[in-house]
Amino acid sequence: MLWGAVTTNPSTTVRDVAFGAVAFVAVACAAALTVAGITQGIGARPLATGLTGMVALLCGSLLAWNGTRPGPPDGEPVRYRQILGAALMLWGTGQIVNALSGQGFPTIGDSVAFVAAPLGVWGLLSVPRAVPGRHPAWRLGLDSVLLGVTVALPAWHFAFAQVFTGRPFDADAVMAALVLIADLTVICFATLAYVRDLDRNLLVAAIGAGLYTVGDLVTMRAGLAGTDPWPWWASLLWCLAWPVIVYGLLRYEPRPPDELRAPVDPDARGVIITTTVSLVLLVVSLAALLVDDHTDRIALVLVMIAVVVFGGREMLNTRIRSALLRRLNEEATADPLTGLANRRVLQAQMARLQQGEPWCLLTVDLDGFKDVNDLLGHATGDKLLVAVAHRLAAAVPPKALVSRIGGDEFAVLLPGSIQVGTQVGQTIVTAVRQSAADVEGVTRVEVSASIGVAAVDAKALIEGAVPLGDHQDQALSPADPDESDGPDDSEDAGEQTDPSVQTVVDPLGALSASGAALRVAKATGRNRVEVYNSTVARIRQRRLRVEERLRTAVETRAITVQFQPIVDLRRGVVTSAEALARWTDPQLGRVGPDEFITVAEQTGLVVDIGEQIMEATLSSAVKEGLFDRGLRINCNVSPVQLRVPGFHQVVQEALTAHGAPREQFVIEVTEQVLVEEGQAAQTLHRLAALGFTIAIDDFGTGYSALGYLQRLPADILKIDRALTSSLVSEPRSRAITRAVLDLSRTVGVSVVVEGVETSQVDDLVRRMGVGFGQGLHYGHAMSASDLAAMTDRLGRSGP
């Protein structure tokens, strides 16, 4: 049947054909062996021994040959098949030697066959596992030896001990015990390999190993006892065992981990079975020895071997558990990427500060790290983090603790005054710039460090002025809003050399305070060190108040809209206007958009605010007839809004609800969006596909590149007011502006110059060929009705 399946299947490989031929020969030999065994003719026993040896040679040759051929997944030769094939051929050679010598057990052939056992174990140890477990591969071999020895104990006691009763302790008994252990170890190994990976091909190989072991042990016992007639059916088991083993080994391939069906740790199954079975068999065997009147030396030796192997196995278990505990401790206390301490260690160290010593905490954030990820890839970003970690560790004093507490955020806990902390901070700024040169390609991006420094009162920490709470994770992220402590943390401050320096009295407050100083460093130019002092404390208080009142403003829809005209410089008419958000709070007074939009983006409120501004813009524009006058209305959209799935539908539904023309509604985004990937880029493309005009605000100072404009849709470029303010005095600013104008003509987009505030700048941009201008020189932000009146006064722009 097997041969027919092999020869009739059109997809059969050369391996399958060869195995079919070997299986056919094995079946034929088994049939001949059966006839010889039943008839018990002259020469039947040597014939059976020779036939089984020939089958083993053929099967081993096939397995070894297949092992030399490239195998998946890497196309390399399959080593374990080569080794196991050699073991089979060695065993077959021993059997053929036995057939020719015609001696009883043990013979030279038996010795040759016995050598195949350790070779077979080596091959089994080389079998690749489906899933790498916690235990090394040789641990499976040790379990197999332990299980084999303990199984050998009752097998010897009940099947072999009586054969040697009354006989001297000789080499035959030792050889028989070694063969027994070797045979049982092999079958135990095959069984444990199946139990570990639950692969049915390994189960087939284990069944074949079982057939071989039964046949070998029955034959050996018959040879020792001189049984007549000889057990020919044991040799028949050999003939059947080898093809079954080879069939399982040829078909076995480690499966991908996601195809494994057993959720249990694969090593755990083997450990449980080995330990349970070994202990049970050891206890049973010891009980049998105690009730037996005769002293069985082999059994006693087997007990000693089992105890030694079991002890060695437990020593190995201890080492594995210790290594596991060390690894778990490292994972719990170390950052996996950089190897630095994590924030748990930082927190614990801050709780153990020595009383009476001044300490300070530095929070370090990488400027430009997002650009590295966006432009160069996250792999390069990871390399940069590793390089920064290395530089930080080298830049700080020996007693300082360097930790990574966020994506691109690090913290340094440093003994010393605030002056020492500031000096180390300046060293770190230099070290971060140097780390950018350590990673290939990063120098293309401007990478620097902003650092916040806070003084820490170790005495107050030890006294537990403010205990650690459940909100530690929030406070440990300095870039997040200061939700873990109120604005009055600094009131418990002591004084250092600078009376304005605020001393923080708890770990949460220290991280929050250094984070507040860090935000000030970023807001005032980046690449600098800022100390948490009374000024920063007031800034933090102000930010907290702005956030608190902003939430109320969103609920009451208190944010309004005004419009600043954009003028066609050639015709002198208003062609469009930018909708600008305005907020006047009853408690805070007028809050500038630069301030409250930043807070809104940090807190996620910008999504709700953006939709309210869009609603107010469309409502006012339609009510005052701005669209009817042919004006385009620009509405600012935050990158945070673009990352919200379905935002393009929100815009489309808003225009439909107000009956506003899509072609006159301009989506204005900052230049940062040019390097955005993922959801933001997809949303921008969808808006462009729907017919919306896309304007890039603040162009020319950060991410400007022709490649960005080719990748993302853009219809209008708005030159940043920072360039405009220096056009008259700075030749470089004029050169950049001319380059942007040339770029716009190349890619076919319009240009608007923002921030035109004087007639001198107006005259200059007109002479440079700029088409459109925006700024106080043409008109300040005004209501929709005032904009309509201005448009009528200057003349309609036309549709």
Quick one: average pLDDT of 745-749? 82
Taking alpha carbons only, the member of 762, 669, 761, 651 closest to residue 717 is 669
Taking alpha carbons only, the member of 485, 484, 505 closest to residue 494 is 505
- Specify the pLDDT at position 129: 62
The Cα 299–Cα 278 span in angstroms is 15
CATH number at residue 443: 3.30.70.270
- Specify the pLDDT at position 464: 40
Same domain, 760 and 650: yes
> How many distinct structural domains can be found in the chain?
3
User: Which tokens go with 242?
Assistant: 């080898």
Asked if pLDDT for residue 786 goes beyond 80, the answer is: yes
Same domain, 42 and 133: yes
State the sign of the Cα–Cα–Cα–Cα dihedral 28, 30, 36, 42: positive
Quick one: average pLDDT of 50-72? 81
Work out the pLDDT band at 226, boundaries 50, 70, 90. low
Work out the pLDDT band at 460, boundaries 50, 70, 90. very low
- Specify the pLDDT at position 677: 63
Work out the pLDDT band at 597, boundaries 50, 70, 90. very high
- Specify the pLDDT at position 486: 34
- Specify the pLDDT at position 649: 92
- Specify the pLDDT at position 504: 58
Work out the pLDDT band at 681, boundaries 50, 70, 90. confident
Q: Which residues lie below 8 Å from residue 794, measured CB to CB, with a gap of 6+? A: 567, 572, 573, 574
Asked if pLDDT for residue 782 goes beyond 90, the answer is: yes
Same domain, 589 and 663: yes
Same domain, 39 and 85: yes
Same domain, 71 and 189: yes
State the sign of the Cα–Cα–Cα–Cα dihedral 652, 653, 659, 660: negative
Q: Tell me which of 454 and 98 has the higher pLDDT.
A: 454
- Specify the pLDDT at position 410: 94
Residue 706 maps to a domain: yes
Work out the pLDDT band at 458, boundaries 50, 70, 90. low
**Which residues are paired to 697 by β-bridges?**
670
User: Which tokens go with 767?
Assistant: 């002479």
Asked if pLDDT for residue 705 goes beyond 60, the answer is: no
Residue 35 maps to a domain: yes
Residue 413 maps to a domain: yes
Residue 331 maps to a domain: no
Q: 560 in helix, strand or coil?
A: strand
Decide which of 548, 565, 592 is a domain's last residue: 548
Residue 260 maps to a domain: no
pLDDT tens-digit map of 545-587: 999 999 999 999 999 999 999 999 999 899 999 999 999 999 9
Work out the pLDDT band at 298, boundaries 50, 70, 90. confident
Same domain, 722 and 621: yes
- Specify the pLDDT at position 184: 80
User: Which tokens go with 549?
Assistant: 């009142």
User: Which tokens go with 568?
Assistant: 């066609």
| Domain coverage including residue 496 | 343-548
- Specify the pLDDT at position 580: 95
Residue 573: what are its φ and ψ, rounded to 5°? Answer: -120, 160
Same domain, 45 and 107: yes
The Cα 168–Cα 301 span in angstroms is 16
Q: CB-based burial of residue 614 (10 Å sphere; 0-12 exposed, 13-18 middle, 19+ buried)?
A: buried
Residue 705: what are its φ and ψ, rounded to 5°? Answer: -165, 140
- Specify the pLDDT at position 745: 83
**Which residues are paired to 577 by β-bridges?**
565, 633
Asked if pLDDT for residue 799 goes beyond 50, the answer is: no
- Specify the pLDDT at position 356: 66
Same domain, 136 and 223: yes
- Specify the pLDDT at position 357: 74
**Which residues are paired to 455 by β-bridges?**
360, 503
- Specify the pLDDT at position 796: 53
Quick one: average pLDDT of 335-361? 82
Same domain, 363 and 313: no
Same domain, 122 and 66: yes
Quick one: average pLDDT of 384-409? 90
Quick one: average pLDDT of 21-40? 79
Quick one: average pLDDT of 306-318? 74
Query: Are 269 and 207 contacting, i.e. CB atoms less than 8 angstroms apart?
Result: no
| SS3 labels along 219-231 | HHHHHHHCCCCCC
- Weakest mean pLDDT among 64-73, 115-124, 260-269, 362-371: 260-269
Asked if pLDDT for residue 476 goes beyond 60, the answer is: no
Query: Are 597 and 758 contacting, i.e. CB atoms less than 8 angstroms apart?
Result: no
Asked if pLDDT for residue 489 goes beyond 60, the answer is: no
Position 783, amino acid:
S
Query: Are 613 and 581 contacting, i.e. CB atoms less than 8 angstroms apart?
Result: yes
Which whole-number Å values give the CA distances from 330 to 136, 326, 383, in the listed order?
A: 20, 6, 21
Cα 573 from chain centroid? 57
Q: Tell me which of 256 and 251 has the higher pLDDT.
A: 251
Asked if pLDDT for residue 349 goes beyond 70, the answer is: yes
Same domain, 456 and 584: no
Residue 327 maps to a domain: no
**DSSP sequence for 700-765:** TSSS--HHHHHHS--SEEEE-HHHHTTTTT-HHHHHHHHHHHHHHHHHT-EEEE----SHHHHHHH
Work out the pLDDT band at 135, boundaries 50, 70, 90. low
Decide which of 490, 522, 548 is a domain's last residue: 548
- Specify the pLDDT at position 774: 94
- Weakest mean pLDDT among 48-52, 673-677, 771-775: 673-677
- Specify the pLDDT at position 40: 67
Provide the percentage of residues in the chain whose pLDDT is more than 90. Answer: 24
- Specify the pLDDT at position 296: 66
- Specify the pLDDT at position 775: 93
CA angle (113, 117, 122) in 5-degree steps? 140
- Weakest mean pLDDT among 218-232, 408-422, 537-551: 218-232
Position 502, amino acid:
Q
Residue 335 maps to a domain: no
How high is the mean pLDDT of the chain?
78
Work out the pLDDT band at 194, boundaries 50, 70, 90. confident
Asked if pLDDT for residue 459 goes beyond 60, the answer is: no
Same domain, 384 and 355: yes
Asked if pLDDT for residue 132 goes beyond 70, the answer is: no
Residue 332 maps to a domain: no
CATH number at residue 640: 3.20.20.450
Position 155, amino acid:
A
- Specify the pLDDT at position 35: 78
